[in-house]
Amino acid sequence: MPQKATRLTQRDIARLANVSQTTVSLVLNNRSDATARIPAETRDRVLKVIRDTGYQADPLARRMLKQRNQILGVFTYESVFPSTSGDFYYPFLAGIEDRAERLGWDLLLFTSAPVADGHRRIFHENNRLRIADGCLLLGRDVPSDELARLIAEDYPFVSVGRRNDAGAPVPSVGADYTTATRLLADRALKLGHRHLAYLGPATGPAPIPESSADRLQGFHQTAGPKALVLQTSPQMQWVGEAVDVLVERRITAVFVEERADAIALLAAASARGIDVPGDLSVVALGDSTRPVASDVDFSGFHVPRRAIGVRAVELLEAILAGAATSQQILLPCELTEGTTLTPPKGV
């Protein structure tokens, strides 16, 4: 059945079902005194048009019909099938699939969003967002204006990852990066390290993703606000320069936000004759968002990605049922002992 690019009205539904607009209104309101006079065949035809066109998923229609499509939407701001970040997103999707199956949901991966100015947008002319009862959002850089619009339109959604830049509380399930980073920095101090540094892709004065801000906050809680912070870049020229700065500043433990960057840093240090972890301990704050081959058992933590996917579905279900007691959830990260954080030489 053809769909209009703009939002359908009751008049459109009436035309497609070949009934009056009054009949559509009565069916939507589920008036027991009135619908009894509407033939069952006519009522079923109206409901079928509503379902086929996606009109049923409009918030007002959803409340009136008091039913769901049992479809859970998933929108990713970075491509995941296939892509170099596929390995990173797979556990999230596995957790989402597992919990959706147990709840009896079908999953709908939104893939029609065009890329404009290098970014995907969930809102575009032909978006099918309202076919789903609600949606999960995945991605490192989620536009704040789209979050704000979802909230303003009362569309049920959950962000996979903490968000706080929409002007209102954003329903989300994320990892407690702050606590995990602080605990690792505490461990380094107890091992005897006194000169710590942080290495991350976004550490400048401009707003940075919440996941980066949370890690940096945990680091500063232990290392202090004046501790050395170095910035990476996609071009990788920073690696050798970073090693030189770490040596010059007599840093004995560096906390690296991206595991792939930790691998590059270790290789550059080894090439300069710097022993890891004897001369320099390297701590990886999470999992690689881009796959890089390495058999190094880094000290650090793992993000509970599968568990986050499961809890995100559970939170969305609770929101749809009007039973959500908390709309912002942080799960603890799994600390790993590894082999790259040891006492500094001479301790």
Question: Burial of 323 by CB count in 10 Å (0-12 exposed, 13-18 middle, 19+ buried)?
Answer: exposed
How do the pLDDT tens digits run along the chain, 347 residues long?
444 345 677 888 888 989 887 888 777 765 544 445 778 888 888 888 887 776 644 544 444 444 677 899 999 887 776 565 557 888 999 999 999 999 889 999 988 777 777 678 888 777 788 889 999 999 887 888 899 999 998 899 999 999 988 888 899 999 999 999 999 999 999 999 999 999 998 655 567 889 999 999 999 999 999 999 998 876 667 888 899 999 999 999 999 999 999 999 999 999 999 999 999 999 999 998 877 878 999 999 999 999 999 999 999 999 998 888 889 999 999 999 999 999 998 76
Identify which of 278, 242, 275 has the alpha carbon closest to the alpha carbon of residue 258.
242
With beta carbons less than 8 A apart as the criterion, state whether 335 and 180 touch: yes
Cα-Cα-Cα-Cα dihedral of 3, 81, 314, 127, to 10°? -20
pTM across the whole model: 0.78
Residue 272 is given by DSSP the state T
Domains along the chain with CATH numbers: 10-65 (1.10.260), 177-302 (3.40.50.2300)
